[in-house]
């Protein structure tokens, strides 16, 4: 082939490659410039990023079309943002209002926590302009604070209602006595009822005081080693009178040498509430079983009655304040609806828990579990400890109830008590 022709072809190919290379460089340069412009457009005002990093709240920064420019991890955790999108219409309405009116908006919103389920989160949201182009959303999680306030308000309302009943009854009975001054039998009858209502009022006030003391008590600072056997003996002794009035026999089985760290008076109060609860809901001429055991670093005290038992729906609410399975019967037996709530608080303050097993027609078993003190080698002995023949529990101390409760500590004692 002619060398001139070959050189011409090679020159043309080189020219073409050079031209292509220049064009590619220019295109790349234009794209880089466009990216630089976008980066400048997305840049936050000077100092804003540093302030947001230490503000301590969830934040979302959106642009003119509500696209997410920047968001904190908490904003994603709260479910306010997914990807580059603001999830909730309520937040978009706030950004639209700020963009339209140029004002700062602040609202408390209850928002779904996720796309599934019924969980919600309560957030205090503040929306304001950030520079000339962006809008900042600051969100503070107020869920626990709000719910605690609701619980407090409900408690005050419930206390007011519960106090009003015996106070109103005493007032009416006093009027009845005054109008029946010449009728000795009527006066005695009304006085007896007044005495009963005043006792109920005193019990309610005492339970409220106990709850208040529990909420401010510090077991860590005020507690010490507690002999569980002494707690059981004292709680049983205090329950003798109500048990004897219904001819109910309290049977105590098991013994532990392990000690727990806590407040002995509070533990006695909790156990006595369980025993009184069992006595209150058990038929006459029955018995209540109390079992104690130590295993796997936990001391478990179980109280079993021979009552009617609880349905699954009732079991879910039985530890709520002022909840009564049978309100009419509770008023007749003198229940305040606070006893089991106090037990739950005592267990929690001691790092333990209280659990319930129950079946309709088979009674109930409440089990109080507490951690042993460090360094204790409690070994369960089978000899029953002596206890006065009084007391009760809300559980039916019969064998089927015992064998069906693998998670309720003291099952062996319950079996022995049956």
Q: Where are the alpha helices (DSSP H) in 334-379?
A: 339-349
Q: Residue 198's pLDDT is what?
A: 83
List Cβ<8 Å contacts ≥24 apart for 117-125.
Answer: 121/78, 121/79, 122/146, 122/147, 123/58, 123/78, 123/80, 125/91, 125/94
CB 274 within 8 A of CB 368: yes
More confident residue, 379 or 129: 129
Q: Residue 309's pLDDT is what?
A: 85
Q: Which residue, among 299, 300, 250, 254, has the nearest Cα to 278 in the 3D structure?
A: 250
Q: Does residue 291 carry a pLDDT above 90?
A: yes
CA distance 131 to 51: 14
Confidence of residue 385 (pLDDT cuts 50, 70, 90): very low
CA distance 310 to 394: 10
CA distance 394 to 250: 12
Q: Residue 275's pLDDT is what?
A: 93
Q: Does residue 32 carry a pLDDT above 80?
A: no
Q: Residue 351's pLDDT is what?
A: 84
CA distance 270 to 303: 11
Of the ranges 237-241, 317-321, 347-351, which one carries the lowest mean pLDDT score?
317-321
Confidence of residue 28 (pLDDT cuts 50, 70, 90): low
Q: Does domain 48-141 have CATH number 3.30.450.20?
A: yes
Q: Residue 95's pLDDT is what?
A: 94
269: exposed, middle or buried (C-beta count within 10 Å: 0-12, 13-18, 19+)? buried
The number of beta carbons lying within 10 Å of the beta carbon of residue 321 is 21
CA distance 194 to 86: 63
Q: Residue 348's pLDDT is what?
A: 83
Bridge partner list, 121: 111
Confidence of residue 227 (pLDDT cuts 50, 70, 90): very high
Bridge partner list, 48: none
CA distance 388 to 238: 9
Q: What is the DSSP string of 195-239?
A: HHHHHHHHHHHHHHHHHHHHHH--HHHH-EEEEHHHHHHHHHHHT
pLDDT tens sequence across 184-195: 888 888 888 888
CA distance 156 to 162: 10
Q: Does residue 318 carry a pLDDT above 60?
A: yes
Q: Does residue 389 carry a pLDDT above 80?
A: no
Q: Residue 120's pLDDT is what?
A: 83
pLDDT tens sequence across 248-276: 999 998 888 889 988 888 899 889 989 98
Q: Residue 381's pLDDT is what?
A: 40
CA distance 103 to 81: 23
CA angle in degrees (0–180, nearest 5) for 127-117-155: 75
Q: Pairing state of beta strands 287-295 and 249-253?
A: parallel
Q: CA dihedral defined by 175, 179, 181, 187, rounded to 10 degrees?
A: -50
* 3-state SS, residue 51: helix
Average pLDDT over residues 198-216: 71
More confident residue, 153 or 104: 104
Q: Does domain 219-417 have CATH number 2.60.120.650?
A: no
Highest mean pLDDT among 65-79, 201-215, 329-343: 65-79
CA distance 118 to 318: 23
Give Dmax over CA atoms of the chain in angstroms: 148
Q: Residue 15's pLDDT is what?
A: 73
Chain length of the chain: 418
Q: Does residue 344 carry a pLDDT above 70?
A: yes
Q: Does residue 131 carry a pLDDT above 80?
A: yes
Provide the token pair at 149: 């306030």
Bridge partner list, 86: 81
pLDDT tens sequence across 55-107: 788 999 999 899 999 999 889 888 899 888 998 999 999 999 999 998 999 99
CA angle in degrees (0–180, nearest 5) for 86-91-97: 125
Residue whose structure tokens are 């020159």: 11
Q: Residue 224's pLDDT is what?
A: 86
CA distance 391 to 148: 35
More confident residue, 397 or 214: 214
Q: Residue 54's pLDDT is what?
A: 77
More confident residue, 242 or 387: 242
Q: Which residue, among 292, 258, 293, 288, has the nearest Cα to 276 in the 3D structure?
A: 288
Highest mean pLDDT among 78-92, 210-224, 400-414: 78-92
């Amino acid at each position: 082939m002619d060398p001139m022709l070959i050189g011409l072809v090679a020159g043309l190919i080189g020219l073409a490659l050079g031209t292509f290379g220049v064009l590619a460089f220019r295109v790349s340069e234009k794209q880089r410039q466009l990216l630089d412009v976008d980066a400048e457009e997305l840049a936050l005002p000077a100092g804003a990023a540093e302030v947001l990093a230490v503000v301590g709240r969830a934040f979302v920064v959106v642009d003119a079309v509500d696209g997410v420019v920047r968001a904190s991890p908490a904003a994603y955790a709260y479910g306010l943002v997914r990807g580059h999108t603001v999830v909730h219409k309520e937040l978009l309405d706030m950004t639209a209002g700020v963009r339209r009116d140029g004002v700062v908006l602040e609202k408390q919103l209850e928002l779904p926590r996720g796309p599934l389920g019924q969980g919600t989160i309560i957030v205090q949201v503040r929306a304001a302009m950030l520079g000339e182009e962006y809008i900042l959303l600051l969100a503070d999680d107020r869920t626990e604070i709000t719910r605690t306030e609701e619980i407090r308000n409900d408690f005050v309302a419930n206390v007011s209602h519960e106090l009003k009943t015996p106070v109103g009854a005493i007032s009416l009975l006093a009027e009845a006595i005054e109008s029946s001054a010449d009728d000795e039998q009527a006066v005695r009858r009304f006085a007896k009822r007044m005495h009963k209502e005043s006792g109920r009022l005193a019990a309610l006030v005492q339970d409220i005081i106990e709850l208040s003391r529990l909420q401010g008590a510090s077991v860590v600072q005020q507690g010490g080693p507690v002999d569980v056997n002494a707690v059981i003996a004292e709680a049983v002794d205090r329950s003798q009178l109500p048990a004897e009035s219904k001819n109910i026999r309290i049977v105590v089985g098991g013994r532990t040498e392990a000690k727990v760290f806590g407040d002995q008076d509070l533990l006695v109060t909790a156990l006595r509430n369980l025993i009184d609860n069992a006595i209150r809901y058990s038929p006459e001429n029955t018995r209540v079983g109390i079992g104690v055991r130590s295993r796997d670093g936990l001391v478990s005290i179980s109280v079993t009655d021979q009552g009617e038992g609880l349905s699954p729906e009732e079991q879910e609410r039985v530890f709520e304040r002022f909840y009564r399975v049978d309100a009419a019967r509770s008023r007749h037996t003198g229940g305040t609806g606070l006893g089991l709530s106090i037990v739950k608080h005592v267990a929690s303050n001691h790092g333990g828990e209280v659990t319930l097993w129950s079946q309709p027609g088979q009674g109930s078993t409440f089990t109080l579990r507490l951690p042993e003190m460090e360094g204790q080698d409690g070994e369960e002995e089978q000899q029953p400890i002596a206890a006065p023949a009084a007391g009760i529990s809300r559980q039916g101390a019969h064998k089927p109830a015992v064998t069906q409760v693998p998670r309720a500590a003291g099952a062996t004692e319950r079996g022995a008590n049956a």
